[in-house]
Amino acid sequence: MKQFLSLFVALCSLSLFAQKQKQLDALAAEFTQKSLPLFKEVLSIPNDAFYPDWIEQNVQWSEKNFTQRGFKTERISTQAAPLLLASRSFPKAKKTVLVYLQMDGQPVDPSRWTQDDPYQPVVKKQNEEGQWEIIDWTALENYQDDWRIFARSASDAKGPVAMFLAAMNAMAKIGQTPNYNLKVILDFEEELGSPNLPKAVLDNREMLTADLLVIFDGPMHRLNKPTLSFGARGIATIQLTTYGPIVPQHSGHFGNYVPNPAFKLAKLLASMKDEQGKVLIPGYYDGIVLDQATKDILKATPHDEKQLQDLIQVGHFDRVGPNYQEAIQYPSLNVRGMQSGWINEKVRTIIPAWARAEIDVRLVKESNPERLLRLIKEHVENQGYLVLNREPTKEERLAHPKVATFTSKVSYQSFRTPLNSEIGLWLRKALKRGFGEEPIRVRMSGGSIPISPFVNTLELPAVAVPTVNRDNNQHSPNENLRLGNYRDGIKTILAILTEKL
């Protein structure tokens, strides 16, 4: 009899679970359609943070749309663009969840987009040749999951904003509210590194106080399955310049005689890494120890190396770690851009006057950012360079065969939350209820999110819930959001909003 009762209870639980999942599916499908005009509207507002007038339009749009959904909005002033805090309290709530959303986007080069205006969203589907072709917006009434909306910030990160607002509309329809209070912080300078965020958080810590932090940002795992990311690397940047003649010189008259700064820079950069991509600077990886249990978790995270090789068309990967997840647990050293002289149709037969590298360092929790920058600078000095934080004078050029300018900036630090923390278990339960399977858990993502001030100043446990497709071209021309991801993103947020805390 006891076995029969246990089986009956289990079957009832499964039936109730299936019913809730169907309700989430139906709501997500309904409010995908209903929210697409809103999504199109917000994508049509330019959002490059270098243009304050554009950002002001986005702030006003956010104030209007969060207020319409019962939130009280308040601007948090900074030296540049404000932050926007949207707050809403609910009956019997004992805890508060802070949600981070981003509204600004990377600059655009319209000439490299396959549409007239990156700020005028278009719908595209792939033809038989694999090319993306524009289709009429009205076709979205019967969209297919693999169709995509192309526009700047479609994925990074106005998509999650539209998903969140759609999920709030769905909650209103079924007359349900979270059992916790909500505070939503909207960042309008994320793509600039959120330079004013740390001070704003410090000055307004009482206003921003909460129990947990959920970040709706970033791409899902490459399998495009429900994903939780428990950390992100921080970021610091370096500008490194080497010098040749005071002005460019004729390469015929002076080749083999006047030193070329491009070769100096190339040798200098090459001295920093070995053939496997590991940083050779002594002490660079000090303090990072991965025990076997952690290594097992990292190894278990799904990753198809051959598929990724084929997708991005490279013959091999660096081996800082034995697998992708382990590799990104270490600080990186990346040349993100180089310049010297002229190329392509402007090429000239000259010895350049200078060569410059823009470098980024992705930070991990165990590494002190200032220490890493100091180690890199000392390495340049150990290669025989006089290292300055400005352009050299004539006297310095004449007195030293090798001169370099080195300037750096720490944007923000890394964060990482334990996988079995309260917020981790709560979010796992929500996504499992929504999708019927355990989410993929990522210990730390390789990208950077400027929320370390919330983690460090407010002492909040934080987890990122990515919703967009990984192949979205974020930061690049032809950024896009897959429509199946848009719908599932609404479902993801609905599952979290309806999960008791």
- Mean pLDDT per 10-residue section of the chain, whose length is 501 residues: 54 60 93 98 97 97 98 97 97 95 96 96 95 95 96 97 98 96 97 90 94 94 93 94 97 96 98 97 96 90 90 93 94 97 96 98 94 98 98 98 97 90 97 95 85 85 95 95 98 97 93
Per-residue confidence (pLDDT) for residue 451, from 0 to 100? 80
| pLDDT value for 12 | 46
Sheet arrangement for strand 132-135: 132-135, 122-126, 148-150, 480-482
8 Å CB contact between 335 and 269: yes
Q: Can you give the pLDDT at residue 454? A: 87
Per-residue pLDDT, 18: 73
What values do phi and psi take at 277, rounded to 5? 85, 5
Q: At what angle do helices 158-173 and 2-43 cross, to 10 degrees?
A: 130
Return the residue matching tokens 């129990």. Answer: 211
Q: How many CB atoms lie within 10 A of CB 348?
A: 11
Any alpha helices (H) in 437-482, and if so which ranges? 452-457
| Measured CA distances, 115 to 123, 134, 155, 398, 486 (Å) | 10, 8, 17, 52, 21
Please report, as a single letter, which amino acid is at residue 437: E
Prediction pTM value: 0.83
Bridge-based pairing of strands 212-215 and 462-464 is parallel
* pLDDT, position 17: 62
Please tell me the distance from the alpha carbon of residue 66 to that of residue 184, in angstroms, as a whole number: 9
Comparing CA positions, the residue from 411, 453, 456, 455 lying closest to residue 201 is 453
On whether the CB atoms of residues 354 and 243 are closer than 8 A, the answer is: yes
The span from the first CA to the last CA of the chain, in angstroms, equals 35
Closest among 470, 44, 413 to 194, alpha carbons compared: 413
Query: Do 70 and 88 form a contact (C-beta atoms < 8 A)?
Result: yes
Query: How crowded is residue 384: how many other Cβ atoms within 10 Å of its Cβ?
Result: 11
How far is residue 30's CA from residue 32's CA, in Å, rounded to a whole number? 6
In this predicted structure, what is the pLDDT of residue 10? 47
pLDDT at 4: 55
CA distance 260 to 291: 46
For residues 120-139, one letter each, b for 16 or more C-beta atoms within 10 angstroms of the residue's C-beta and e for the rest, the string is: ebbbbbeeeeeebeeeeeee
Q: 434, exposed or middle or buried, with CB in 10 Å at 0-12, 13-18, 19+?
A: buried
Count of alpha carbons within 13 angstroms of residue 144, beta-carbon side: 6
Do residues 280 and 382 touch, judged by C-beta distance below 8 A? no
Token readout for 240 is: 């490194």
- Bridge partners of 48, per DSSP, are 105
Q: Is residue 257 helix, strand or coil?
A: coil
Strand order of the sheet with strand 181-187? Answer: 72-76, 83-88, 181-187, 96-102, 212-215, 462-464, 227-229, 440-442
Residues 6+ apart with CB under 8 A from 136: 123
What's the confidence (pLDDT) of residue 267? 98
Query: CB–CB of 332/344 below 8 Å?
Result: no
Q: Which residue, among 176, 230, 141, 127, has the nearest Cα to 27 in the 3D structure?
A: 176
pLDDT of residue 9: 47
Chain-centroid distance of CA 262 in Å reads 32
Distances in Å between the Cα of 325 and the Cα atoms of 119, 202, 328 are 34, 33, 6
